[in-house]
Structure 1
Amino acid sequence: MNAQIELPYQRDQFYGRSRRSVPAARRFTEWSLTYWGLAKWRRAGDVTLCVSELATNALLHGVPPGRRFLLRLRYDGAVVRAEVHDSGAGVPRVAEEAGGDEEEGGRGLLLVSVLADKWGVGMRAPGKLVWCEFGIP
């Protein structure tokens, strides 16, 4: 009987409401991509940067005191998907949709919208998840 690799791969990690969580999320992403054999993939840095932006947004806007956020990474052989789940209210928007140059925030999602193939927001109770996807040719 031949052993088969099961896809999709999924890795989950919870992070507390701390500044250390963003660099830890980046390291977790880099480790996961390496584990999946994608460390040298030309878009690996884009995935890591987008995870950093989504984690930062969760900490700034979505994680109430005493709560955590979940980073979920998935790889199905064709797509890498990053999701950040938090318990905050509201729907994140890209800066150009949200307001002018004086407005603080939203630029991280602008970066995500440029680097990722797709991104979006899903609602959950409580809170939301913000996701982005990167296709692998």
Structure 2
Amino acid sequence: MDAAPMTATSFLSFLAYLGTGVGVLVVAAMLVSLITPHKEFALIRAGNASAATAYAGTLIGLALPLHAAISHSVNLLDALLWGAAACAVQVIAYLLARAALPRISHEITDNVIAGGIFAAGVSISVGLINAAAMTP
């Protein structure tokens, strides 16, 4: 199958979907950062590997369903709405993980790597399921 040639219209569509995806990712990542009791960016700047691992998992867990939302959308608004829904699911998953392990934020702050790995694992695994649920 031959690829379609790049046109000005297709490039503008690319930029629109890219901007929407990155925009939703940034807003969702900031929302997660706001609801966590610990301060991810300060901890990461200080070299906290647990915080870096947990936040990397958050980003991946958010990006996976955003990929599916963009891939299966019929237009830009559809991608935006499904992306927002996917990100809401990820935030809920984080809140449920925190309810199951109330000390997870303390572990991340204290650089207990197991806490960061668990948080990342929850985000990525829910992100995969979330993405798979977005079928055309």
TM category (shorter chain) comes to 0.3 to 0.5
**Greater gyration radius:** 2
Q: TM-score, normalised by structure 2?
A: 0.41
Larger proportion of helix: 2
Q: TM-score, normalised by structure 1?
A: 0.41
Larger proportion of strand: 1
